[in-house]
Every structure is written in C-alpha cells, then in structure tokens.
Structure 1
C-alpha cells in the first residue's frame, strides 16, 4: 500500500473528524478506494472506534434508479445514520459517466426522497474526500501517477497555516452586509450576507479543504452570472451555464451543453432555484481544473455558487435557510478582469486578495 494512503486515513481520523475510542464510524467508499478503506479500518482499530464498511457502487445506484417506479425514504438507512457518530465518504469509481443515462426527473425524485436522510447525515461529524482513480485521472487529462500526486499533495496540506490564511477573509465577510461579484462582461451579481456566518473550510468536512463559504440571504441575489468553468453532474458535463436572478430566484437560465440536465436540476423543487452557498476558493495547491468539484471549487482565483440547499450552520438566526434536495456548485474563473467587492470595497482583484502581496 502507498504510504500516502495511510497518511490520508490519518488526516481524516485526526484532523477532519477527530475519531476517538467508542465512536461508531461508517466508511462509504467505492471499490477502487479499497486501500483507503483498509487504512481507515486500521486507524479505527488503533483508536478503539467501531467501523462499518459500505461499498458504494454507481453501477448499482444507476440500476436501482432506472428500475424503480418511485422512491421512498429508506428507514433502515436513516436508522443507521441516526446511530452513527462519524461518516467518511470518498468519491471515485471506474466510470465517471456511469449514471449519464438516468433521467433528470428520476434523479430529482430520488433526491427528494433522500432529503431527510441526507439531512440526518449532515447533522453528524462527517468528511467527504476524494480518492485518485484512473477514471478521474483520464477526465482531468493526467496520467494516473500525476493525478495521484495531485490528489495527495492537496490532501496533505499544512491545514493550520491554511486556516490562518483563510481566517483573514472570514473576518472580512462576517462584518459585511453585501457582496458584489464581477467577472468580464457577463457576470455582475450582488447578494446580501448580513446576519449569516462565513465558515473557514480547512480540511474538515471536505478534504481537501481550501475555501471560505457562507449563505446568501435567500431573496437578496440580483444579477447575472456566467459560470465559465464546466461541471460534471450525474455523469454528464454541463458547460457554459448562465443564470439570471431576481429577488433571489433563478428566473432564466441557459447552458451551452446539456441544458436539459440543468433545467432538471433547477426544477427539482422550489429551493433549487435559489442560491444556498457562496464559496470563495483559496487553496493555491489546487492549481488546475480537473472536472472534480471537490477539488475545483477550492482552487485559488475562483468563486463558486451552489443552487439548492444551504448549510444550516451558515445561516444566522432570523434569516431563512434555503432548503432543497439539490446542492449543485458551479464555478466562475476570477483570475482576470474580475473583482469581489464587500460593502463597496474591493477585497479581491484578478484573484489576488487585499491581504496578499501583489494586490493592486
């Protein structure tokens, strides 16, 4: 086993989740990440925790969705989640397009049925991470070895130093009322964040971390956004997304590729047409786009916004929490001809923050 796999498991256990004696731990990984499952079981044994291994298969998931006439909340899965202390989930797999032929309306119905179960999981200590596989390497346009190095370099960052770096932006946003994001000629959007909390993602719930994120005030988003980096969702690429917001709601949308899939996401429920998250990427170790949102949204020089559910911990008392069965992140490249303004003051220009060398 590659020594970096054991290091990955130890970072998950010690930094991301704080696994300790007596914890009941669910480890949900694809077959391709079995080495990480083995390492996590060793770590759980070392710490006196109790692991349960769930082998996640996109092939099986696809088969179920395509065969079922409808979906109900799985009570046995909810019971497992209610009794679990820590969840570790890894993305990976042999085929990144495995579920490309599942209809958008089927995914929407499944997500609605799973909404309360997912909420139960998110109420616990959890870590979502990535495992390098040949399929992900191919999607990123990299050799398997180069992609492995990319993933493990991003995971094994100095997270204390990253937390301190990002804390500077957290302080700015937590005193703010309004954020304006402009990029090129096609993106100019404003949103209020007053009363909501900016959180410092330094490799805990997401590994790798490397962003500062918050929730917009639900009805405050105004303007247009061109998400000029693509995303993979349900096994298909969505590219060239444009959204126009009025009073928080997406009132018009388009995409250059797979627009019908975007439409299906936005039509999942009422909350899927509102923003649940504004995130600002700050991880300079992630220096290239790889079609893996867990990594791509953390890149420096980027902003991402998610239609759908808000993380409750980012929503302040008195503000409405946007609820949805979806949470879909989309990215804006902020490296050129771009600014982030907070209450009228530019805090980032062309990817460089006001507290970094080179800000002009």
Structure 2
C-alpha cells in the first residue's frame, strides 16, 4: 500500500507537477536521504518519454561540516563549472524538480555570515538559472517527502519512526495522493484556484490593506497592470505546470515603493537550516526600516542584507485559513507547506508572470514597472484566523477580500 502511494506521488510530480514533455530533459535536485524517491521519479520520467534524467544530490550533514570548517573566503566562491552546468540545462529547455526536505535546525549555531556567503555566492553564480525559472522559461516543481531530521522537528514527542510515518500520512493527505486518481483531484483543485484568480483580476485593485490581532497593519500597493496567478503556470514553450505542490495560494506583485506599515509573522520561518520566529517587519515606501525577532534575529538580518532588493517585497499571496494544510493544525517548519496554510509575503525578487507582458520585459523594464529585483526570494507567513483584507480600487471603492481569515 505504501509503495503504491509512493508511485502515485512520483507519477503526479512528473505528469502534473513539471508536466514533462516527450524527449524532455529532467534535472532532479534531491537530498541524499531522499535518493529512493528521486530514483522513483526518474523511472516515472523515463516512462513519460524523458530523453534523459540527471540527479544532483546534496548532503546537508556534509554542508554543516563544510560550513563549520571552511573560511568565509572559501564559502564565497562557486566554481564556474557549476554555473556552466545550469546554464546548459536552461538552454536545453530542461525541467527542474526539487525535493525540499531539510532539517529545519541543521545549521543552528553556524555563523550566519558563513550561511549568507554560501547563499549569495550560489545565487549570483546561478543567476541565469534562477531568472529562467522565476520567469517560467523552464518548467519547475518543488515537492517534499519526510526525512528523519524534518519529521522529528514536526513531531518531536514521538520516536523517529513514528514521526516519519505521521509526516508521510500528512503529506499523502495534503497532496491528495490517497484519492483514487490524484491527477484528476488536482485538476479540480486547480480549477477552484483559477476561479479566484479570475475574480481578483476583474477588480484591478490599487492596494490591499491587511490587519489582524497580532498587530499587522499593512498597506500593499500593487503594480500597475498586475496579474493575479495561482494553480498552474505556463512555460515558455506553452505547456502548463505546477511550480509548488502543494499549492493553495493566489498571488501577485507588490509595487516596489508602495508598501507601508507593520506586519507580524504568524508561523516560524525555516531559512537556511535555522528558525526565525515571532518576527516583525516595518515598511516605509517599500523598504524594511525596522525589524524584530524573538528567535533568529541575526539570520533575519543576514537575509535582509543579502542585497538592496531583499529589503523589499516581491510577492503578496492569499491563502484561506480554512485550507487543508491549515486545518491539519501542523506547523511543518517547511516553507513549501507552511506558506500554503497562511497568507504570506515574500522578501526579494518578483515574478515577471504577475505583470502584463512581464515575461517579455528586460530587467530594466521590470524595475521601471516597479517590480522588485533581488538575488533572493523568501516567503514568510502572516495569515491568522482573524486576518481581514480590504481591496481598494483607484476610485476608492473598497471590497472585503478576506474576513476572519477566509474569503469574504
């Protein structure tokens, strides 16, 4: 039974997630602990007609050893062959599937400057790759499966074996793998998200006003000619794919200099092997001018200092409190899951697809359109059961979008 569910999951990721095309090249980025599932995905990819599959394994335990023992100078260097490899994949039209399953505490205690150095170096070296997936030139998809470190963080009160079993059960449920036909179940779900996208696009809001009992009081202007997206994306070649699985969000682009007020986090943020928790960000004219954090303040500082764009927002996303992941009452300590349980914002780069004709704009044109540019894109959760969101149009008309955490 378990193996049947795994095979369903692997097939879903290939057929519905990245929507691998005939004779397509698939690149799988996977933790070494997830090798069995990565191989299952590769087998399904070949069944679907892949010309080839490449698996890139990473080992977070070795990463910790390297970060502990290497100098910042060493960690700030990414070899050219790594850049060239990903540039080649992008030019070949490869599809990219990432398995996200890290231990949220794996890098706790590591010098935050070393973590930042690695992140910044890699994002700079692989800039073409990150820009390609952000602009949907290539199809891409992120999925997750349990690892011991992650499962024990989520279910700390039970044994490792039971924690892994409980996390598998949660993932299978949220991912609709237990349905007779997961692909058909996802088709229905995507249609629901598309209905919300259509409704929001019809309103052409000038700004959104978020409030809740945590103290959030934030106005987020939207770029002119913004587009709400959600569910499926469209690759440059014209076919559909789902970038995040699971997904419950509809999202668009904030105006670079149009965010003002204060926002409080509603869930912990797992970032670079560390937890940032109970934090707040104060914005003025689109920039973070003050911030606090109960846990992980130094990590939050490093995130904000990544570059000039990391202090501004690149995404605003709406997720109802009454959603499958939220209703599980589980904090997953994994952004892929937690962001789909809560309205969220993202520090860093914007998605060109959320602006009319954005995929055909140059970086300079996107900046002129007031979209943000950054080496990073980090989602953090802000939604609560009493979140209210007003949408305000240019003529002053106000529409209640969310009331008490859900669609109004």
Q: Does TM-score exceed 0.5, indicating one fold?
A: yes
1:199 to 225, 229, 235: 229
1:96 matched to 2:123? no
1:242-281 Cα distance to aligned partner (Å, 9 max, x none): 1110000000000111212111111111111101111112
CA–CA separation in structure 1 for the residues paired with 2:61 and 2:245? 25
CA–CA separation in structure 2 for the residues paired with 1:160 and 1:273? 36
CA–CA separation in structure 2 for the residues paired with 1:12 and 1:118? 25
Q: Which residue of 2 aligns with 1:53?
A: 55
Q: Which residue of 2 aligns with 1:285?
A: 324
Q: Which residue of 1 aligns with 2:347?
A: 307
Q: Which residue of 2 aligns with 1:268?
A: 306
SS at structure 1 position matched to 2:151: helix
SS at structure 2 position matched to 1:102: coil
TM-score (norm 1): 0.90
Contact 1:196 1:319 in 2 (8 A): no
SS at structure 2 position matched to 1:81: helix
CA–CA separation in structure 2 for the residues paired with 1:77 and 1:258? 30
1:123-155 Cα distance to aligned partner (Å, 9 max, x none): 421111111223222211273222101112222
1:328 to 378, 388, 394: 378
1:1-360 alignment, distance < 5 Å: 2-49=3-50, 50-66=52-68, 67-68=70-71, 69-70=73-74, 71-84=76-89, 85-93=94-102, 95-116=103-124, 117-121=126-130, 122=133, 123-141=137-155, 143-156=163-176, 158-174=185-201, 175-184=204-213, 186-193=215-222, 194-201=224-231, 204-282=242-320, 284-286=323-325, 287=327, 288=329, 289-299=331-341, 302-316=342-356, 317=358, 319-336=369-386, 338-343=387-392, 344-354=398-408
C-alpha change, 1:73 and 1:270, in structure 2 (3 Å) is same
CA–CA separation in structure 2 for the residues paired with 1:326 and 1:190? 22
Contact 1:114 1:325 in 2 (8 A): no
- Could you tell me which runs of 5 or more consecutive residues in structure 1 were left unpaired when the two chains were aligned: 355-360
How many angstroms does 1:59 deviate by? 2.3
Bigger shift: 237-246 or 185-194? 185-194
CA–CA separation in structure 1 for the residues paired with 2:280 and 2:33? 35
CA–CA separation in structure 2 for the residues paired with 1:180 and 1:249? 17
Contact 2:104 2:333 in 1 (8 A): no
Contact 2:99 2:144 in 1 (8 A): yes
CA–CA separation in structure 2 for the residues paired with 1:330 and 1:4? 30
SS at structure 2 position matched to 1:307: strand
SS at structure 2 position matched to 1:173: helix
Bigger shift: 31-40 or 314-323? 314-323
C-alpha change, 1:185 and 1:351, in structure 2 (3 Å) is closer
TM-score (norm 2): 0.80
CA–CA separation in structure 2 for the residues paired with 1:129 and 1:185? 31
CA–CA separation in structure 1 for the residues paired with 2:315 and 2:42? 33
CA–CA separation in structure 2 for the residues paired with 1:161 and 1:335? 25
C-alpha change, 1:311 and 1:130, in structure 2 (3 Å) is same
CA–CA separation in structure 2 for the residues paired with 1:128 and 1:185? 30
Contact 1:215 1:314 in 2 (8 A): yes
Q: Which residue of 1 aligns with 2:238?
A: none
Question: In the comparison of the two structures, how many residue pairs are matched?
Answer: 350
How many angstroms does 1:73 deviate by? 4.2
Q: What stretches of structure 1 move > 6 A for 4+ residues in a row?
A: none
How many angstroms does 1:29 deviate by? 0.9
How many angstroms does 1:183 deviate by? 0.8
How many angstroms does 1:119 deviate by? 4.3
